[in-house]
Amino acid sequence: MIRFSIMLAVLPAIAAANPYDGVYKQTANAECALVGVEGGALEIKDNIFYGVETECRMTRPVNVVDMEATLYTMQCSGEGSVWTDRAMLMKPAEDPDGLIMVWDGYAFVYQACD
């Protein structure tokens, strides 16, 4: 019974885990302790992307066929606006701790913070 209770307590954390969770540098010399500000870092945690003065809920994940990538509907808010967009996320082949994020017409490669 105790094992079952522990399993139930851990299950929501496992379900909420996202393969892209982490803190990523905006630039090579970014300050990783500062998330969501210019010159700082970006963070993905519990299916929420925290960008520069922007927060996006990552919803409706779709695996991209023949790629190790996921397409998300991003429900975003920031700087007094609310919008929905699509973004594709994947891990770079040469840096499995990093992140590639593709928005319509834009592609970004981020290194993970230590």
Q: What one-character-per-residue DSSP string does 30-45 give?
A: --TT-BSSTTSEEEEE
29 in any annotated domain: yes
> Which is more confidently placed, 10 or 65?
65
Determine the 3-state secondary structure of 12 from DSSP. helix
pTM: 0.81
Confidence band, pLDDT 50/70/90 cuts, at residue 2: very low
Residues written for the chain: 114
Interval 74-86 mean pLDDT:
96
Number of separate domains in the chain: 1
4 part of a folded domain: no
Mean pLDDT of 15-24: 83
What is the band of 13 on the pLDDT scale with cuts at 50, 70, 90? very low
Selected residue with higher pLDDT from 4 and 50? 50
